[in-house]
Structure 1
Amino acid sequence: MLNSIPGQFKKAAAFISNLKPATTRQEIPDSTQSGLYLVMQPSGALSWAVRTKIEGKAAKVTIGRYDETGSVERGAIIVSATQALNVTQARALAEKVVADARRGNDPRQQKIDKTSVSAWFDDFIKTARTTGFKGRPVKASTADEYDRIITTNIKPHWKHVTDIRTVDYRDVEKLLAKLTPGARRNAFAVLSAFFRWKPVARAMGRNIVELAEAPAKPQSRDRVLSHEEIKTVWKAAEKCGYPFGPMVQLLLLTGQRRDEIAELKWSEISDDMDAITLEATRTKNSRPHIVPLAPLAMMIIEALPKMHDADGNPSEYVFTTTAATPFSGFSNGKKALDKHCGEPALPEWHLHDLRRTCATELAKLGIKQEVTEAILNHKTGKVSGVAAIYNRYDYQDEKRDALEQLAMRIKAIIANNVIMLKKTA
C-alpha cells in the first residue's frame, strides 16, 4: 500500500518497483495526497488515477502513467492518460484535480485523450521525424514510409480500438491476416518498432509483437526483364505519359532506387542536365551519390513539364501531381503501365526489377562489377578489407561510359536491332 510509503520520493519509488502484479486489477491509495491511487494492471502496467466528486457524483480521472523519473517538464503537466509522471508529479497533479473539482470545474473536460491507436501512432511518427529512437531523427524517406504503412495498412483495421493498452498479439495477427504478403511484412516491421518504442512499452508493460507469429520471409527475387519485355515496358511508359511514364524510363536508364527517382528535385540535377547528385539523406546507405546521365536520359528530363502550385510557384519536384509533394501513386501508376503493356500480360514483375535488369544489362556489356556497384551505390563486394578503407575512387568516368553504353543498348532494343557485343576482358 502506498500509505505505508514514507514521503521521500526515493523510498516511494523503491516501494513501487517491488510491487508484484496480481491476477486482478489493483488500486493502491497514496498516503500523502488524498484521492490519488496507483493502479496496477495484471500485465504489470502502472497508471495514476484520482477519485473525487464532480457535481456531487463520484468520479475517477486517469491523470497519467507511472514512471520512476517522469518525462513531463515542470509546469507542463496536464490531465493525459499517456504522460509519464513520477510520484511527486502525480501528487501535484492530483491536488490540482481535486481542487478543480471542488470549485465545480470538471477536470475531465481538460483531458487530452491520447490513448487511442491513432494518437499513439501520430506521436510515433512525430518522434521519428524529430528526436528519433536512437538519438537522431530517422531518414525522411523512412519516416514517410512508416507514415504510409500506418495510414494505409494499420489504422483502418484498428479504428475500433479506443485504448492501445487493450491490444494484444491476437489483434496483431488478425490485422496481418487481412493484408497482402508484402504489406504484411511491412506492417509487422513497423509494429515491431512501434511496440518497442519506450512510451508504448511502458504503457503496456510488455512487447506484444514478440508473442505474434512473424510473417514468412520473402523469397529472394531474381526477376530480370528480357529484351522483348524491356521494349514492351518502354513503349507502355511512353503511353502512360507524365509523371509515371518518364519516371519508369529513368529507373531503367539509371538503375537507381524507386524513391530516389520518384522524389527527385530539380535542384539535384546539374545545370547542363548531365548528372544527378543525391545527398546522403536521400540514399539507402546514407552516402552521397552522383549519377551521370546519358544523352537519352537527358533528353527525357529536358522534355518534362515544370509543375506550378495554385499561386504560380514552381514545384521543387521533378515528378509530382500536386506540385507540393513528390509522386507517390505507384499502385495506380503500375496498373496503368501494365494495362498499356497489353496482352499477354508480363509475368509478375515489380519496379525494382528494373534496377536488377539495369545491372544485368551492364554485366552483358562487360562493365566491371565495381563500376556497376558504384552506379547502384552499393557497398562493393569486389573491393573489401583494407583496400575498401583506402579506395575512395568514385569511378565517375567509368560510370558515365557504362550508362551511355546502357542507353545505346536500350535504344537498340527498342528499335529491334540490338547486337550482343562480346564482353571485354
Structure 2
Amino acid sequence: MATVTAKTIENAKPKAKQYKLQADAGLILWVYPTGLKRWASRFTINGEQRQATLPRPYGITGDGDMSLAEARLENERIQKLAKSGIDFREADLTQKQEAATQEAINNKIFKNMFDEWIENGVSRKDDNAELKRTFEKDVLPAIGKKRVKDVTETDLRNLLKKIIKERNANRMAVVIYKDIVQLFKWAEDRQPWRKLLAEGNPSKLINIKYIISPDYGNIYGERLRYLSDDELRELRDKFAAIENEYLNAPFKEKCVLPSPISKEGELAVWICLSTLCRIGELLMAEWKHVNFNTGEWLIPKQNVKSTRGQKQDHLVFLSPFALKQFKALYMLTGKSQWCFPNDNQTNHLYVKSVTKSIKDRQVMFSERKSEGRKSNNSLVLSDGVNGKWTPHDMRRTGATNMQKLKIEAHVIDRCQNHVTDSGNKIRKVYQLYDFADEKKEAWEKWGARLEEILCSPDSR
C-alpha cells in the first residue's frame, strides 16, 4: 500500500463519484464530489467487520478539522479498542455519560447537600422543622445556590455575622453555626459530597467565639440557670396573681391585661420541677402511662430524648407533691388520651408550646420583641437580674436541690434518666440493678422539700 501523505490528500481532487484513499490500516479518507473529505475507520470486533465515520472531516485549518496525523492517532486508538472487543463509539458514549455525570456532581449546590442531609443525615423530634426554618431564613438565601465545592469559610463567616449585625441574634448564630458544622461533618464522610470537599471543610476554619458579640457568653449553649427558693415562691405568687387579676377584671379591661398562662402550662412547670423530667417528654405523656394507685408515671422510650444514641423507658415515682399536680391536671384533661391534648384532641400539645408561652412573658430577654397582651414581662423573676428562665431550668433546679439534700450524684442522674456510662463494659453487662428504691427516696425527699418551699405557712 502506497504511503499517503498530507500532500497526497491535499492534491486529491473531487470526481463525479465519491472515492476513497487508504490512509493507513483500517483508516480511509472519502473524497466526495462536493470536495468534502471525511475520515472513516474500519475495524473488526469478534469477527464482525464494522465501519464508522469519524466526527471531524479532514482539514488543517481549525478546531473542527482533523489532520492526517490526528486521524492516524484516532484510528490507532479505535483498532486497540477493537482488539479488546470494544466499539469505540460505545466507549466514547460511556465516557461522555460519565463526564456529564461528573459535571452534574461538580455543579451540585449547597441546597442539594442540605436537602439530602435533612432526608438521610439528621432526625430531630420535630421532624427537622426548626432546622428547616432556620436554614431557609438565614443560610440558604446566602449560599443555597452556590456550588458545594465553591463554599468558603468567608461565606459561612459572613452569613453568621449578618445574623448578629442585623438582629443581634447571637444565640441564633451559635445554633446555626453548630448545625452547619454538623452538616459538613456528615458530608465529609459521604459521596459525592466528600469529593466536593476535597480541598477542605470550610466549617472547620470558623471559630464562632470570634464572630459573636464580645459581651455574649455561653457560646456552647450550656445553661446554668436554676431557680432559688425565693424565685420559686415568686413564680407561685405570679401565677396566682396574674390569673386572679385577669379573672376578676371587667370584660373591657381583659383585652389590655397580661393573659395568664394556661392552667395546664402552669401544672407542667410544677411537674417538670418535681419529677426532673424534660418538658417535651411531659407534653407527649398519655394518661395510660400514669398510675394514680401506685403513684408512678412511665415515660416510654419513644418519648425519651436520645442520649448518645441510647434510649430507655423511664419510670418516675411520683412524690405526693407531683401526684397532686397530675391529679389537678386530670381534672382538666382526663377525658382525653393525652395529658396535654391539642385543641382538636387529635394529638398531644406541640412540645415547644409551654416553653414559648413562658418565653412570651419574658420579652425583655428576647432578641425580637413581640407585641400583644401575650407578650409581656409578667413572668420575669427577680426583676430579671438572674436572666430568663425556661421549663428546662426546672429540671436543673430539681437536680440542684437534690444535691443540696445530699442525694448521690448517680441517683440524681438516674432520676433525670441520664444514660450512665462507667466506661467499664463488664460492669454494664453484670451490674443491672435499677436503683428504684434510691430514686423513689430521692423524689420523695425533693417533693417534701418542695412542699416546704411552696406550701408551708411560712412560705406565704
Q: TM-score, normalised by structure 1?
A: 0.60
Alpha-carbon separation, structure 1, partners of 2:96 and 2:147 = 26
Q: Are 1:205 and 2:197 an aligned pair?
A: yes
Out of 250-259 and 217-226, give the one that drifted further.
Answer: 217-226
Match of 1:232 among 219, 231, 234: 234
Offset, 1:377: 1.9
Alpha-carbon separation, structure 1, partners of 2:437 and 2:272 = 20
Once the two structures are aligned, what percentage of the paired residues are identical? Answer: 17
The aligned runs of 1:145-164 (5 Å cut-off) are 146-151=128-133, 153-157=134-138, 158-159=140-141, 161-164=144-147
Amino acid at match of 2:268: M
Alpha-carbon separation, structure 2, partners of 1:164 and 1:240 = 47
Alpha-carbon separation, structure 2, partners of 1:221 and 1:328 = 17
Equivalent residue, structure 1, for 2:117: 124
The aligned runs of 1:357-368 (5 Å cut-off) are 357-368=397-408
Amino acid at match of 1:328: K
Alpha-carbon separation, structure 2, partners of 1:200 and 1:348 = 45
Q: Are 1:255 and 2:236 an aligned pair?
A: no
CA contact (8 A) 1:280 1:289 kept: yes
Amino acid at match of 2:379: C
Amino acid at match of 1:170: T
Alpha-carbon separation, structure 1, partners of 2:312 and 2:81 = 54
Offset, 1:372: 1.9
Alpha-carbon separation, structure 2, partners of 1:36 and 1:390 = 58
CA contact (8 A) 1:116 1:162 kept: yes
Unaligned runs of 5+ in 2: 1-73, 210-218, 241-259, 363-376
1:257-314 alpha-carbon deviations (Å, 9 max, x no partner): 3332233344433364722222334233323221112232223223333399xxxxx5
Q: Are 1:347 and 2:386 an aligned pair?
A: yes
- Between Structure 1 and Structure 2, the one with more helix by share is 2
Q: Are 1:327 and 2:351 an aligned pair?
A: yes
Alpha-carbon separation, structure 2, partners of 1:236 and 1:337 = 11
Offset, 1:229: 0.7
Out of 253-262 and 316-325, give the one that drifted further.
Answer: 316-325
CA contact (8 A) 1:372 1:399 kept: yes
Unaligned runs of 5+ in 1: 13-29, 40-45, 49-63, 67-80, 83-114, 130-137, 309-313, 420-425
Alpha-carbon separation, structure 1, partners of 2:422 and 2:239 = 34
Amino acid at match of 2:378: H
1:61-86 alpha-carbon deviations (Å, 9 max, x no partner): xxx438xxxxxxxxxxxxxx76xxxx
Offset, 1:400: 2.3
Amino acid at match of 2:181: S
Amino acid at match of 2:405: L
Q: Are 1:291 and 2:280 an aligned pair?
A: no
The aligned runs of 1:10-29 (5 Å cut-off) are none
Q: Aligned-pair RMSD on alpha carbons? A: 4.1
Offset, 1:147: 3.6
Assess, with a 3 A threshold, how the Cα gap between structure 1 residues 355 and 279 changes in structure 2: closer, same or farther.
same
Assess, with a 3 A threshold, how the Cα gap between structure 1 residues 127 and 242 changes in structure 2: closer, same or farther.
farther
Q: Are 1:223 and 2:208 an aligned pair?
A: no
The aligned runs of 1:256-405 (5 Å cut-off) are 256-270=277-291, 272=293, 274-281=295-302, 282-285=304-307, 286-304=311-329, 305-306=332-333, 314=336, 316=338, 318=340, 320=342, 323-324=346-347, 326-329=350-353, 332-338=356-362, 339-341=377-379, 344-345=383-384, 347-351=386-390, 352-380=392-420, 389-405=429-445
Counterpart secondary structure, 2:93 = coil
Alpha-carbon separation, structure 1, partners of 2:160 and 2:354 = 22
Counterpart secondary structure, 1:327 = coil
Amino acid at match of 1:365: L
Offset, 1:220: 5.3
Counterpart secondary structure, 2:297 = strand
Alpha-carbon separation, structure 2, partners of 1:242 and 1:200 = 52
Counterpart secondary structure, 1:240 = coil
CA contact (8 A) 2:414 2:439 kept: yes
Q: TM-score, normalised by structure 2?
A: 0.56
CA contact (8 A) 2:321 2:450 kept: no
